[in-house]
Amino acid sequence: MKIKKTKEGYAVESSSKKGTFYNVDPKKPWCDCAAFKFRELRRKGVCKHIQAVREHIEKTQQKTLQKTEKKLGSITEYISEKGQVDSIELIDKFGEETVDRMIKNGELIEHNGKITILK
């Protein structure tokens, strides 16, 4: 199934009618396919389109988390190798948002423009 992000939610291609897309909001949940409107809505269930979007979101979140964890590991390895790193150098290499988050979480310490790992 093809899944596209839209302003309102997601568009999911029909498995039986190629080129036909159904509008899905996985939070409500809502889908404009016949199966949802005439069966699942009454049973408080979800159709295959809503389930597909939920699985898509979960996979996307897992990939993002894995990338973030890999990046965080790279930062700590980088600092471990050097002992102390200039904050501007670290921000240029790994991004300000990531470095700030690690400082706020107490994983890194910044002092006089130098960053070290909290031990």
**Is the pLDDT at 118 greater than 80, yes or no?**
no
Domain that holds residue 116: 83-119
Residues 71 and 90 in one domain: no
41 lies in the same domain as 97? no
Let me know whether 107 and 97 are in one domain: yes
pLDDT (mean) for 50-54 = 95
Is there a contact between 98 and 71 (Cβ–Cβ < 8 Å)?
A: yes
Q: 13-42 pLDDT, tens per residue? A: 998 999 999 999 998 999 999 999 888 888
**Gap between the Cα atoms of 19 and 40, Å rounded:** 23
Weakest-pLDDT range from 8-12, 65-69, 100-104, 114-118 = 65-69
DSSP string, 46-115: --HHHHHHHHHHHHHHHHHHHHHHHHHHHHHHHHHHHSSEEHHHHHHHH-HHHHHHHHHTTSEEEETTEE
Looking at the fold, whether 72 and 102 belong to one and the same domain comes out as: no
Q: Judge if 56 and 87 occupy the same domain.
A: no
Looking at residue 113, its pLDDT comes to: 92
Q: How many Cα atoms within 13 Å fall on the side-chain side of residue 112?
A: 1
Do 97 and 112 lie in a common domain?
yes
What average pLDDT does the segment 98-115 reach? 90
The predicted structure's pLDDT at residue 119: 67
Query: 73 and 103 share a domain?
Result: no
Residues 65 and 94 in one domain: no
Across 9-13, 79-83, 96-100, the highest mean pLDDT is recorded for: 9-13
pLDDT above 90 (res 8): no
Same domain membership, residue 47 and residue 14: yes
One domain, residues 78 and 96? no
Model-wide pTM > 0.85: no
- 116/108 Cα distance (integer angstroms): 6
In terms of domains, do 66 and 99 share one?
A: no
Residues 6 and 63 grouped into a single domain = yes
**Number of independent structural domains in the chain:** 2
Q: How far is 76 from 46, CA to CA, in rounded Å?
A: 43
